[in-house]
Amino acid sequence: MYFLDRKMIDEMEDTQSELRRGFQQLINGGSGEDTLPRGFLPPVDMMLGETRLTVIVELAGVERRDVQLGLVEDELVIQGTRRSPVPQEVERFFRMELSFGEFERRITLPAGLDTDDIDANYRDGFLVIHIARMPGAKIILEAEAEE
């Protein structure tokens, strides 16, 4: 069985950050702006009903104070941080499957929504966002490729 100690994990995180910066510079033509997904990327479901569009974001382990919700042009922006509950004195991991860190999800909204009529609720690790449909608007949702 293979064990990871804290020093090895810190070194892997540093290497991952360096690789992310290098790839981002290639993608952005030399720009150092970091827009690649970080360690934690919350899953999102989006569904359309008769009167509204509903977006559900799974944010298990994320405190309400660590989540920001915004609207930038036609994009719904969800940002935050999932903090690790692992104490620093841990020396070895026997299994490591959970992800932590900063996250950002940007969801392009279809035309025909009333972005002045948004309601959001965060409870039990789920952020549920409702955006009203404009009366009579035909909304076309296009399936996006999974990230």
Secondary structure class of 66 (helix, strand, coil)? helix
- For the chain, the domain total comes to 2
Cα gap 107→134, rounded to integer Å:
19
Q: Has residue 146 been placed in a domain?
A: no
For the entire predicted model, the pTM comes to 0.69
Residue 15 sits at φ, ψ, to 5 deg, of: -60, -45
Question: Residue 19's domain spans which residues?
Answer: 1-36
* Pair 18, 32 in one domain: yes
Task: For 27-55, write each residue's pLDDT tens digit.
Answer: 555 544 444 444 788 999 999 999 999 99
* Pair 31, 47 in one domain: no
Tokens 């999932």 correspond to: 82
* Pair 81, 98 in one domain: yes
* Pair 2, 23 in one domain: yes
Residue 51 DSSP one-character state: S
The mean predicted confidence, pLDDT, of the chain is 82
Q: Is 112 left (phi over 0), alpha (psi -120 to 50) or beta?
A: left
